[in-house]
Amino acid sequence: MALCWLILSLLLQSLHAHNEFFTSIGQMTDLLFTEKDLVTSLKDYIRAEENKLKQVKQWAEKLDSLTITAMEDPERFVGHPVNAFKLMKRLNTEWADVESLVLSNTADGFISNLTVQRQYFPDDEDQKGAAKALLRLQDTYQLSANTISVGDLPGVVYKSHMTVEDCFELGKVAYSEVDYYHTELWMTQALKQLDDGEDSPVDKVTVLDYLSYAIYQQGELDRALELTKRMLKLDPTHQRANGNLKYFEVQLEKQRKAEEAADGEKQQNKQVDKRDVQMERSRDPLPERKRYEQLCRGEGMKMTSRRQSRLFCRYYDNKRNPRLVLGPVKQEDEWDRPRIVRYHDIISEYEMGKVKELAKPRLRRATISNPVTGVLETASYRISKSAWLTAYEHPVIARINQRIEDITGLDMLTAEELQVANYGVGGQYEPHFDFGRKDEPDAFKELGTGNRIATWLFYMSDVPAGGATVFPDVGAAVWPKKGTAVFWYNLFPSGEGDYSTRHAACPVLVGNKWVSNKWIHERGQEFRRPCSLSGQE
């Protein structure tokens, strides 16, 4: 029976070997402990190898001295019976011992440990996901390739530099995604570092090959030709460069004639935003994307001073709720339309630690509901892992649920369980609605509790840079602050959806973002938040 459980355990471990590590910083920290264990094992192997080499070296030095003496007069040396005996003994026995010592595999322990741990290592998808996260951060926060490469990021404690190989790898990932804009940025950075004298197994010709093609694909024939000529200076026999040289020259000549025919209009004088071209190529919703990224950087729409003057801080007891009378909560207005309020010191360190502890072992890649099929699936615009915690599994969860009910005055019996989310490298959730729209009539049908009337969001970590919750349509940006929570209604009292609550979680630039949220539904709120006949009261 025990053997069956062992086999089942190993099978389950193998099934969950790939955990999409890049989507959760919290789980990614486990990899550091794995790597630390491997380093310890590797150091044990090195010590064993050093000990083995020490013994071999001592043997070699002893024999070196002996053979020097023996070769002065070989016949006289072996004429001594003791020397003759020892020579026979050495060649018959001792050299065999040396052979066994040299051939002994001191790496067995390390290789065994590495083999066991390798099944839990990140795979190509993780590496690609982390690379794409860097490209996303570069765009959102308008960072140059050089800024990222030298590790000069805001809020960074452990500064890390990128090598030529690292930059080249990012360029290749972009190239594989037909993203020539980022291919150019990172191949240019790799070339810069090579020109500055950095040693690398990646050569300039290889980098120039990718770079010239990426620039050609973006319509800059003259620059592509210039880079191709540079390639040929380094490698005159490069077959593709020789072919491209002739092709680019022909295409440039055609371009010149076309420009002359168009009264001298020159395409290179047109101001073209390369990133806009790339986003159009990928069918990205450009206008909202720009507003979203501006807000993530702390730019964009601002509230007027008149509206700002109507926002207040207060102690709040929700109409003298018995549990809040002696300990009212600190409430701050974050935004007026839609009304977003923040509660300070609303969850303790112990409670946050317990929530993370319960959630971490069961974190799984966060999903979205496909608007067409209704099926839950992963998406590139939601990079995080999440877990669900029920009230009955620990008193802390029950206490948190009760606190949300006391403050909001809404019934938690029909609310969804507490969802805990941990964001990964460049973790984000692009603009979305929490409530089901009219074109999604069956969005929460299986729950039988109506639409999502409101959202409660705890921030359970500080984020040194990035990670804001932004509302692109109205220009609001709420920044993470550990121990606080924000709350807003997704529906008007009439039951109509409030489309101004469309929001997003900005990419985490530096740090580890933990949040937990409670989605509260309509059923059970009939007398707690009465309906209104006005559409947008």
Give the pLDDT mean for 366-377: 69
**Torsion angle of C-alpha atoms 394, 399, 404, 406, degrees rounded to 10:** 150
pLDDT at 15 over 60: no
DSSP state, residue 94: I
User: Which residue would you say has higher pLDDT here, 350 or 28?
Assistant: 350
Tokens 């005055």 appear where? 409
Residues 354 and 405: their CA atoms lie apart, in Å, by: 20
Q: Give the pLDDT score at 18.
A: 52
Task: Provide CB contacts within 8 A for 444, sequence distance 6+.
Answer: 436, 450, 451, 452, 521
Give the pLDDT mean for 322-335: 96
Q: Give the pLDDT score at 273.
A: 67
Residues 388 and 358: their CA atoms lie apart, in Å, by: 9
Percent of the chain residues past pLDDT 70, beyond the cut: 87
b/e string for 466-503 if b means 16 or more Cβ within 10 A? bbbbbbbbbbbbbbbeebbbbbbbbbbbeebbbebbbb
Q: Do the beta carbons of residue 470 and residue 292 sit within 8 Å? A: yes
Percent of the chain residues past pLDDT 90, beyond the cut: 56
pLDDT by residue (tens digit) across 473-520?
A: 999 999 999 999 999 999 999 999 999 999 999 999 988 899 999 999
Residue 286 φ/ψ, nearest 5 degrees = -60, -55
Q: Peptide bond before 338: cis, by omega within 30 degrees of 0? A: yes
pLDDT at 265 over 80: no
Q: Give the pLDDT score at 426.
A: 85
pLDDT band (50, 70, 90) for residue 83:
low
**What is the maximum alpha-carbon separation in the chain?**
119
Q: Give the pLDDT score at 338.
A: 96
Q: Give the pLDDT score at 275.
A: 64
Q: Give the pLDDT score at 278.
A: 60
Q: Give the pLDDT score at 462.
A: 95
Q: Do the beta carbons of residue 256 and residue 248 sit within 8 Å? A: no
198-207, 238-247, 263-272, 338-347 — which is least confidently predicted?
263-272
pLDDT at 176 over 80: yes
pLDDT by residue (tens digit) across 95-117?
A: 787 788 888 887 777 778 778 87
- Listed as own residue / partner, the contacts of 103-106 with beta carbons closer than 8 Å and 24 or more positions apart are 104/52, 106/45, 106/48, 106/49, 106/52
Helical H runs in 73-144? 74-78, 81-89, 95-103, 108-118, 124-140
Helical H runs in 92-123? 95-103, 108-118
DSSP state, residue 412: S
pLDDT at 17 over 70: no
Residues 480 and 485: their CA atoms lie apart, in Å, by: 9
Q: Do the beta carbons of residue 458 and residue 346 sit within 8 Å? A: yes
384 bridge partner residues: 423
Task: Provide CB contacts within 8 A for 27, sequence distance 6+.
Answer: 19, 21, 360, 363, 385, 422
Q: Do the beta carbons of residue 402 and residue 412 sit within 8 Å? A: yes
Mean pLDDT of the chain: 86
Q: Give the pLDDT score at 9.
A: 45
Tokens 């452990």 appear where? 158
Using CB atoms within 10 Å of the CB of residue 515, give its burial: 0 to 12 exposed, 13 to 18 middle, 19+ buried: buried
Tokens 């029920």 appear where? 390
Residues 21 and 295: their CA atoms lie apart, in Å, by: 28
pLDDT by residue (tens digit) across 524-537?
A: 999 999 887 765 65
pLDDT by residue (tens digit) across 23-74?
A: 888 777 888 888 888 888 889 889 988 998 898 899 889 888 888 888 888 8
Q: Give the pLDDT score at 230.
A: 96
